[in-house]
Each structure stands twice: as structure tokens, then as C-alpha cells.
Structure 1
Amino acid sequence: MKVKNFIYLPFCLFIGTSVAGALPEIPEPFKYGVGGIENGKIYIGLGSLGNNWYMIDTNQSEKKWTKIAQWPTVPREQATATIIDGKIYVFGGIGKDKSGVITLQKDVYSYDIAKDKWEKLMTRPPVSLAGHVSFIHNGHAVSTGGVNENIFNGYFSDVELSKGNSALTEKVNRDYFSKPADDYFLNNHIISYDPS
């Protein structure tokens, strides 16, 4: 399996200064998203872009951001992306469910660069993937870190239930954010996804 170059970040588009100075502004404000590079083409999406994804070809003399196929499901933040063999793989993240409550997303999608098409993959991570990191190793997407699903979803459920009661919202936030790090039970597993 041929591995392509990639950039992962819960995304702050880090590109060398010489390239960054030559690129036009991104069409929309961009934070908390994902991105990657393949063959000089930069792909960005999710986060504050919602369902929008963009690509810019740094090999072209006239560089411009082009909208590509929209993300097909719940917009999200804190996902990760890797590029392997011409496909962008997006893992997890957080987004609002149908009732409007922020929850962990447990799905995996791939974007076929050549076909400009998203596809939901028939797999699920064995641990929650939000606030995690992903990278490529030996043709596999490897992920580690991230939040505990029950604690994280519980916090956002409590925030939703406390709406309209500022004292209760303050208590929910204080209780959640004042815990010692060990009480969050963050993910300490390393998982691997083989796209083949």
C-alpha cells in the first residue's frame, strides 16, 4: 500500500511560510477542522466549515480554493483525517445529534479524491474518537487519545438540560472542568484501521 503525505491537525493550517504567503485566503473562516495534502493539493473541511470542503492545487500558477463534494452527514469538530492511496479517511469527532445535543460521532467516512465522492464505511472504532490524534503508519491509519464517551456525552447532555437555569449551568461547568485529569478517563488505547 502506497502511503501519501498528509497533514493532520484539529486543524490550524500549518504550511511553510513560503507557501502560506502565496496562498489565497480560505473562502470561509476555518477552525477545528481537518485537512491533508496529496500531490501538492491541500484539502480542508469540517469544523467551522460545517459540511463544506475545499481544495487548492499548489502546483498551479493561479492558486484558488475550489469547493469539492460536501460532507454527507452530521457536521463535526475534533475529528481527524488521514490520506491513504488517494482517499481521505475521516474518523470520529463531535457534532449535534437530531435532537440538537452535542454528541460523539462514531462513524468513519472516506472521500475518493479522483471521484469527488464521500462514502460511509462499514466500520466503527472500538473507542470514542474525539480530541484524538491520527497518523499513518505502514499503510494504516493509527489513532490514540481522545475523550471518554460517557463522560463527554454526559457533560453535553447536562448542559442541554440546564439551559435556562444559569446557576445549574454554572454548576455543571464547574463540576466538569474542575475534575483532576484522571477523572476524565481519557482514551489510552492505540487503534489501527487498515483501509484495504
Structure 2
Amino acid sequence: MKMQFLPLPPLPLGLKNGVAFSHHDSVFAGLGSMGEQWLMLDLNEQQHWQPKAPFPGVARNDAVCVPVRGGCYVFSGAGTTTELGYATVLVDGYYYDCQQDSWHLVTEDIPVGLLGGAGIAIDDSLYFVGGYNKVQFDGLMAQLSALERQASPDLKQATLVEFMSRPIEEYQWNQQIYRFDCKSQQWSRVAENPFQANCGAGVFRSDGTLTLVEGEVKPGLRSLHTKQLTFEAGQLTSSSYLPSIVEDDPKHEGLAGAFCGDVNGLWIVAGGAYFIGSQSNYRTEQYYSHQGLSKTFTDNVWCFDGCEWQHAGQLPQGCAYGAAVTTSQGMAMIGGESPQGDAMTECYLLI
């Protein structure tokens, strides 16, 4: 596959851990490191990002963004409320209307932590998989913000080490699949997720099928699998593993925060972050699998043709945790986090 990276107008400020979606020939992006800001870029004019109606809720990272006809839904994420003063998993969701340039609160009672989860819209319903355990996340943030730990770096570090030194199953990430009826605004449980619960997976959506590429299975440890779920008539009708990147690269450590999109009918997974050595550490029961390891921000670009993954090239630089959307003109890549931890303003159109 011959790739071209065409520069798009840069963001006015860096975006990481935010969300994005496309509507016709426009790209909308915001939240994460941009706070409540919400911007739009017309891909036909490509002049500059235009400010749109700001997000009305608590500013948040790693929310679930589900595009629908005419707009998108933004659910959950992690944000700091004025009441608590530390980050918690949020349980509200909003709808953004492109034509009206307006936000509407649609739920304040998400029944499970969806931080870092994924979703798909089918007919008048949204389906959600994965997500961080709210009780555990909120509890850790409360501990770390306590005065005694703020005053003692050693105690704070010990708390983190204890939390990170657990096997996958003890994190109790959301193992259920939930449905949200957009008309009645009611929740229901569809089924148990047949795959290991994920956070930060790459997402592809098409015709009632949700495909998840890798992502975390516990803090610091990535999945090596590509998983596919198919829904019909409100039910989970099939699930299967697809070929995985590790089959092409045995040293592959998995990816979290990768850029994902469709280019000329091919699935693209670009960038992402991982810890070299974390897989072997976990296999030898070193459950704090990324302890002492440096996070790698890859520049690799992978392409899936329906049969296998192949290495297709390199990004202009290694990065992760930005946003990517499929458009009629190519895959728009928006912002990201650099290896230095900075929120990036650079944007590209991959064709």
C-alpha cells in the first residue's frame, strides 16, 4: 500500500485523550486535553479549525464517542468534579447535533464504568463494551488525593505499586455488553462479553459489527487480539477472533491509543503506545508488568486487507492517544501525545 500523509491545518491547541467524528466532509474534535472546547474543520476548505458549541458537562478524558447520522454521542470518561476535587469515572452522556450545533444531556445513570470503552450505534440503540471499573478507579484516585499521600511521595508510590501489582481479573473491568435505547433513554444488559474486557482499543464499525483491535487488558498490559462482535435485533449474534498483528510480528507487544480508520477499503492502525517487555513479564507472573519500563510511542502503520495484517509504513513521528476518523477523502489523524508527553497540534490526512 502506497501511503501519503497530507498536512491538515493544525489545531489551535494540542489534543490527546479526546474524541472526534466526521459528518459529511467535516471533522469535529475536542475534549481531553482541550477541556470543554469543541472544534470543526471543513475538509473541502481546509482553512482552519472553527470553534463550535463547547461541551456542557464536566471536562473529560477517554470518553466513548459513538457517531450517528447527524451527530454523535459522548458517554462517560474520567473527569474531576467540583464536589470531589479528584478524577472519577463519569456516568453521564450527551448528544451533539451538527445542524443545530448544540449539546443535549441524554443520561445521568450509566450503569457501569465506560471509561476507555467502545461503542456502536445500530438503529436507535447504542451498544457498549469494555470500560474501567468505576469503584476501583474512583477509589484509587481518592487514595492518591488524600492529604497523607500528598505529603508522602513514598506512601503515594506504595499505593500505586500495590494497585498495579494485580493480575488481570482483579481489575474487574466491565465484562458485560450494555444497550442504551436512544428513544426511551433506558439501559439494558445484552450479554456477557465473550472476550477479555478492554480499554483503549482501536475501533472499527460497519453494518452492525464492532471490531476491537488490541487495547489494554490491565494498566500497562496490552491485548494481542483483534476481536469482532456482531449485533442484530438487539442481540449479540456472533463473535470471533480475526487475524492479529502479532502473527506478522512475533515481537509485537500490543497497542493502546492507536489511530484507526478506513482507507480505500483497507483497515489502518497507526501509532499507539506499549511497553517493551510487558508481555514476557506478565507471563512470568510479574503482574506489575510495566514496572521500570519506558513507554514506547510507535510510528508503525499496519494495514488489514481482510485476511492478514501487514506493515505498511511509518507515521511522520511516533505518537498515540490522538483521534482518527474515516472520511470520504481519507483517514483524518488529529493531534496525539508525543513521546515527550506533549499534546500535539499536528493533523494529517492519510490517503
Q: Which TM-score bucket, shorter chain as reference?
A: 0.7 to 0.9
Match for 1:189: what amino acid?
Q
Q: Secondary structure at the match of 1:141?
A: strand
Aligned to 1:192: 179
| 2:151 aligned with 1:164 | yes
Aligned to 1:177: 164
CA contact (8 A) 1:84 1:139 kept: no
CA contact (8 A) 2:91 2:108 kept: no
Deviation at 1:34, TM superposition (A): 0.6
Match for 1:164: what amino acid?
A
Instruction: Give per-residue Cα distances to partners, 1:82-141, cap 9 Å, x unaligned.
Output: 121312210100001213111111001111111111111145222111011122334532
Report the aligned-residue RMSD: 1.6
Radius of gyration: which is bigger?
2
**2: CA distance between counterparts of 1:102 and 1:22?**
35
| 2:114 aligned with 1:129 | yes
Aligned to 1:13: none
**1: CA distance between counterparts of 2:131 and 2:92?**
15
| 2:18 aligned with 1:33 | yes
Moved over 4 A (4+): none
Going by fraction, where is strand more abundant, 1 or 2? 2
Deviation at 1:41, TM superposition (A): 0.9
Match for 2:25: what amino acid?
G
Residue in structure 1 matching 2:9, options 24, 31, 35: 24
Instruction: Give per-residue Cα distances to partners, 1:146-191, cap 9 Å, x unaligned.
Output: 1111111101001001211111101110011111111100101111
TM-score by length of 1: 0.85
Going by fraction, where is helix more abundant, 1 or 2? 1
5 Å-filtered alignment, 1:110-129, equals 110-129=95-114
Unmatched segments (≥5 aa) in structure 2: 184-351
Match for 1:150: what amino acid?
V
| 2:75 aligned with 1:91 | yes
Equivalent pairs: percent with the same residue? 29
**2: CA distance between counterparts of 1:100 and 1:138?**
38
Unmatched segments (≥5 aa) in structure 1: 1-16
What is the total number of aligned residue pairs between the two structures?
Answer: 178
Match for 2:89: what amino acid?
L
**2: CA distance between counterparts of 1:158 and 1:90?**
28
Q: Secondary structure at the match of 1:121?
A: strand
